Every structure is written in C-alpha cells, then in structure tokens.
Amino acid sequence: MKSYFPFIAIVCGVGLASPPAISADAAAPVPASASASAPVTLTAPSAPATPAHAAAGPTVVYRQVMPDGRVVYSDKAQKGAKIDHTITIDPPIKGNLWTTESGTKPAIPPQIEETPVNQVSVIPVPGQKKTLADANSDVIRAEMLLEDAKKRQEAGVEPLSGERTGNSAGGSRLNEAYAARQKLLARAVVYAEVALKQAIAERDALRHGAR
C-alpha cells in the first residue's frame, strides 16, 4: 500500500503558507479628510453689495405763499415765496423681488374706477388724539387733493380714444363713455371740496379748544 502522507504534507504545506507581506504604504491609516464620515462645510454665497432694487427716498414738498397771495406746492423753493409748511411724501411701493411685470400690455381699453377723496384719510392711532399740527397737515393735504382733482378735470376735457361714435353724416359725436368720464372727474372735485371743508372744520375746532 502506497503512502500518501508526502502528498498530504505538500498540500498542507501549501495551504499553510504564510500570507504575502503588506507594504508600508498599503498599511498606512486612511487620512481623516478621505473618510466618508468626515464633516463637510458649505459656505453660503455672500449677499451682493448693492441691492438689485434700490429704494427711492421720500419726497419733500413745500407749501409756499407767493407775494400775490397764491399758494404753490413744489419740491423746490420758488423765488420770492415764503415757505409756510413742509410735507414729506413717502415713495410708493412698486412691488418686490418676487413679482414680475409683462413687457406687453393687454389690448383692452383703460377702465375708469371711482375713488372718492373723502374716503382717503389718515388712520388715527388708537388712544392718541389728533394734534393741531396733524390737523394742519390734513388741511394742506386736502388742498393738494382738491388742486389735483381740478387739474385732472381740466386736462380731461379732451375726448380719449373710443369716446367718439361715428354718425351717418360722416362725422362723430361724443358718446356715453365721454359723459361718464366727465361725471367722474366732476364728482372727484366735489369730494375733494367736501374733504377740505371737513379738514378745516376739524382744525378750527382743535384751534378753539386749545385756547
């Protein structure tokens, strides 16, 4: 009977051979920066130095009395005029960065909406009484609104597009749209006159009460 021990020994010797040596480079520890669990810092982009939409400052309007007694409202001092009062008007809000406006306007006729002047008033602060200075400002504001309403009425005499209707004679006549617009302009003047009278009455009441 042949002996198989040498073959087994050879096989076992191969199986029990020592593993190949690992180089120093391969055995070096993995740097912390290459670890998957290393923290990552994200830097937010810096805000622009100048905002995209710079806010306009308030406008200062001077109530000036001319030498002939006329009252003029202007943002510049008139020659020979006496500045009676100063009004600061805040700029209107034109939207924000999230609103957009189309470059093309819709092809529809402009609509005229009525805005009574007597409804445009300063909201009083709860628990705070109106002072004489506030009443004077209300009178000046009402005078400006009345003057503006009269100017718009004078400028609105000319008919606009669509306010004339052709007739059988080849000409045209002013239609109902023109009459309705003139009625609104006249009503705005009436409202402004009423608001001015009310502001003057409140100012006079405070003036007499302060005595």
Whether residues 82 and 143 share a domain: the answer is no
pLDDT digits (tens, 9 = 90+) for 119-152: 444 555 565 678 989 999 999 999 999 999 999 9
In a domain, 177, yes or no: yes
Whether residues 138 and 207 share a domain: the answer is yes
In a domain, 93, yes or no: no
CA 68/CA 16 separation, integer angstroms: 122
In a domain, 101, yes or no: no
In a domain, 197, yes or no: yes
Number of structural domains found in the chain: 2
Whether residues 142 and 199 share a domain: the answer is yes
Q: Which residues contact 108 (CB under 8 A, 6 or more apart)?
A: none
Q: Domain containing 160: what range?
A: 128-211
**Residues paired with residue 77 on neighbouring β-strands, in sequence order:** none
Total number of residues shown for the chain: 211
Closest CA to 196 of 148, 146, 152, 154: 146
Whether residues 81 and 132 share a domain: the answer is no
In a domain, 123, yes or no: no
Residue stretches of the chain with pLDDT short of 50: 2, 4-5, 7-19, 22-28, 30-47, 49-50, 52-53, 97-102, 117-121
In a domain, 99, yes or no: no
For the question of whether the overall pTM of this predicted structure is more than 0.85, the answer is no
Whether residues 133 and 71 share a domain: the answer is no
In a domain, 13, yes or no: no
In a domain, 117, yes or no: no
**Residues paired with residue 74 on neighbouring β-strands, in sequence order:** 62
For residues 68, 69, 70, 73, the Cα torsion angle rounded to the nearest 10 degrees is 120
